[in-house]
Chain A
Amino acid sequence: MKTKYIIFAGFFLILIGAGIGLKMFFKPHADISKLKTEYKVEASGLILEFEQDENAATAKYSEKILEISGNLVSKNKLPNGTNLLVLHDEMQGISCQLDSIWAAANQSAIEALETGKAVTVKGICKGYLMEIKVSPAIIVSK
């Protein structure tokens, strides 16, 4: 009788282990809209922080969820279909690649964006390469 319980417990533990393993393996990518914003910043201020001390700003913001407000200077599509928004400055501003799943469900919001107007974007800050890279990102409606 005791052996039976041990076998059952062992089998149960293996099942749980396999379940956790499979869940981790098939873990979906983060849904930006559901993640908590860690920093709310203005585009110009964020750029200034990276320009003044790239290492310190990278340590502070890299892989963090940012909500960035600024002037939309360009709206494009990359060859793979990804929507690209650039804030503040075309060459050395903030480059935001929109989340493809979010973009597919929010085409009208993307189409409504006008360059020269203010926009707020929420996304994961990846660091600085001539410009600040944010991806994946979504547009936050105000």
Chain B
Amino acid sequence: MQKKLFFLVLLLASANVFGQSKFIAKNAYISFFSSTPMEDILGESNEAVTILNAETGEIGFQALMTTFHFKRALMEEHFNENYMESTKFPKAKFNGKIDGFNKEMLKAPLANIKITGLLNVHGVEKSITVNGMLGLESGKLVGTSKFKVTPEDYGITIPSLVRDKIGKEMEITVKATYLTFGN
């Protein structure tokens, strides 16, 4: 069944190559940042995958939690084992749509956009609207966004002993350089 589904997806993807109606980034950047009195916590991944539908302005974004790297190995362990429970919830997903999308946005220089969609982290799904930028940068289609999330909204519990020391909100930064599908 999985195999059939895979080939169906592959077929749909290859059908779109001819119309070039999709853009993809396989090594998109995503980070989360939080400040503590002791030191800043920064987790970064260059392994997120995002697909942008050039016809509809729909954006899909996925990241594997275990691909986030931290300055300290201990931070990485805590992030995966205690907070994100990465074995149980291996992926973070966002599926949304650019507000007021038109195809010209893909050919114009970087400009502000708003994206509304569903963010699924730690198995909890929430509707969010985030600000971002989309457009050409050095001849390539680039999408960026910076927004804040509260871990507790996604069922992530931080022990009270350290809760006060970590900022209530975490800052998420995303940057993707898109290629047309098949190129």
SS of A interface (majority): loop
Quick one: which of A53, A82, A127, A129 contacts B46, CB cutoff 8 A? A82
Pairs across A and B, CB under 8 Å, 17 listed: A25-B74, A26-B72, A28-B73, A29-B73, A54-B2, A58-B90, A62-B90, A84-B27, A91-B26, A126-B47, A126-B67, A127-B91, A129-B48, A129-B49, A129-B91, A133-B64, A135-B47
**Pair A80/B46 contact, Cβ less than 8 Å:** yes
Tell me how many residue pairs across A and B have CB atoms closer than 8 Å. 64
How many residues of B are in contact with the other chain, CB < 8 A? Answer: 26
Distance from A105 Cβ to chain B, minimum over Cβ atoms (Å) = 19
Give A8 to B76 CA distance when docked, in angstroms. 36
Quick one: which of A27, A51, A91, A127 contacts B90, CB cutoff 8 A? A127
Quick one: which of B29, B47, B87 contacts A133, CB cutoff 8 A? B47
- In the bound complex, residues from chain A placing their C-beta under 8 Å from that of B69 are 135
Report which B residues bind A (CB closer than 8 A): 2-3, 6, 10, 26-27, 29, 46-49, 62-64, 66-67, 69, 72-74, 76, 87, 90-91, 177, 182
